[in-house]
Amino acid sequence: MFALGAPVSLGENIPQTDLMTDYAYGVVCAVACYAAILVCPVESSDRIALLVIWSIKVAVALVFMLFYEDFYWFLDSYGYFADPRVPSFSWEGFVIGRGTENIHNLVWLYYRIFPESFHALKVLSSFVGLWGIYLFYRAALVVLGRRELRLLYILALFPSILFWSSTLGKEPFALLGIGLYVYGSVVWYARGSLGAIAFLCLGVIIAVLVRSWLGPILLAPILINYLFARQGPIKKGITVLVAAGALAATLLLVFEQFAIEASQDLLQNIDATSRQWSGGGSGEELAVDLTQPLQLLAALPFAMFTALFRPFPGEIRNALGTMAGLENLVLLTLLAAAVIRFRFSELKNPIILWAAVLIVVWTLAYAFISYQNLGTAVRFRLQILPVLLALLVYFALGASPKLNRSPDSRQRIAGRTRQNLASP
């Protein structure tokens, strides 16, 4: 009886009157997603893995999330569900710099065809997250040169990735955009395929529609990497000019959104944006004046470390905080092993170098937001966590028999990648 009534008893915070019907639509939507995986043109081994992962994500979205939603009287997901249902809601199209409104508009379009179901929207959002994760995995295969389904399971079932990619909100859509960008970038570096540019551009567009500042974060590593790449002058020149133009355009959009006109405006905005995240149970006030360049630089290393590897166990005393703390211990263990086994020759592989630069650029952008609020740090880290996790696994376990990878074979992969980059 409890199981049958759980969607009602645990869903009292959800702005919906008929919770059982709402939940039933969610179950139907999950079944439809199973059917979509079955007909999707992927390898049979990948399809089986996707079905297994989707089963776990459905359990998270439709079972575990009930307890999460019961605990919090207000979540952003409630607003994404309820606001587009208001009769006065006006659809104004998708606009860069208005991420919340863009999600509202997307949900409003969904309501033109499908029932107004919170659980169905949550399931569809989780399904979007699934394909974002799969794109990261497909990008990793280009580097590995062979299939490694264990890596797909690692990426998909890592606790923070599994949880935050299964929610109704911005995170799964940002993950899809960054996944498209990562896949397109890796294929472009490895094969020079023009089709990869379409994936890359589509990914950046989706990402900036969710969070405008992701544009510069995603484009800067491409520009930086190609400035030092061994390429033909024509191809290198065209790539650098296009990347620089796109980077300048996205930076201009961010500056306009935050009314940044001078360097002091930038510092003041960093300080104000950082401090607005210091509230809540996982917030902590930063005792540094970020408008002062020297103080900002002094605090930057630990803030960057926080963005990637905090909270520690015990810093956030709830179930999600404990989970995040334990998984950060895993990340730190992988980091230690990666540092021990790291060889600078690995960076001759342009894909590995690009991934490392991407992590650094993202960390610089999110350092002080994450430092002020450890709960937010865990949620925002989803954007870069698949790349970070894959790179740490590559360095830390690459020579391990478990992954059937030796340093020599990794050098052969790097050599093949460089050869592909040098070919017309």
- pLDDT digits (tens), the chain, 424 positions: 346 678 888 888 999 999 999 999 999 999 999 999 999 999 899 999 999 999 999 999 999 999 988 888 788 999 999 999 998 998 888 988 888 999 999 999 999 999 999 999 999 999 999 999 999 999 999 988 888 899 999 999 999 999 999 999 999 999 999 999 999 999 988 887 778 889 999 999 999 999 989 999 999 998 888 776 666 677 777 777 888 888 888 888 877 776 665 555 566 666 666 555 555 544 455 666 666 777 778 888 888 999 999 888 888 888 888 888 999 999 999 999 999 988 888 888 889 999 999 999 999 988 877 777 788 888 899 999 999 999 999 888 764 334 444 344 444 444 544 444 443 3
Both tokens assigned to 102: 């863009």
Q: Where are the beta strands (DSSP E) in 196-277?
A: none
Helix 99-111 with 170-191: angle, nearest 10 deg: 100
What is the Cα–Cα distance from 357 to 156, expressed in whole angstroms? 23
pLDDT confidence of residue 261: 55
Q: Which of 362, 355, 348, 349 is nearest to 392 (CA)?
A: 355
Q: Which of 45, 291, 298, 237 is nearest to 149 (CA)?
A: 45
- Provide the terminal-to-terminal Cα distance of the chain, rounded to the nearest Å: 66
Return contacts of 275-279, CB within 8 angstroms, 24+ apart.
275/372, 277/369, 277/372, 277/373, 277/376, 278/372, 278/373, 279/373
Q: Which of 173, 176, 204, 172 is nearest to 188 (CA)?
A: 204
DSSP code, position 290? T
Both tokens assigned to 272: 């104000």
DSSP code, position 287? -
Does the CA dihedral 115-120-124-125 come out positive or negative? positive
What is the Cα–Cα distance from 187 to 384, expressed in whole angstroms? 18
146 contact partners, CB below 8 Å, separation of at least 6: none
pLDDT confidence of residue 372: 73
pLDDT confidence of residue 403: 40
What is the Cα–Cα distance from 57 to 63, expressed in whole angstroms? 10
Does the CA dihedral 148-135-104-99 come out positive or negative? positive
What are the start-end ranges of the H helices in 258-318?
Answer: 263-275, 293-309
What is the Cα–Cα distance from 27 to 416, expressed in whole angstroms? 46
pLDDT confidence of residue 422: 40
Q: Are 70 and 13 in contact (CB under 8 A)?
A: yes
Q: Are 122 and 165 in contact (CB under 8 A)?
A: no
Both tokens assigned to 343: 């060889």
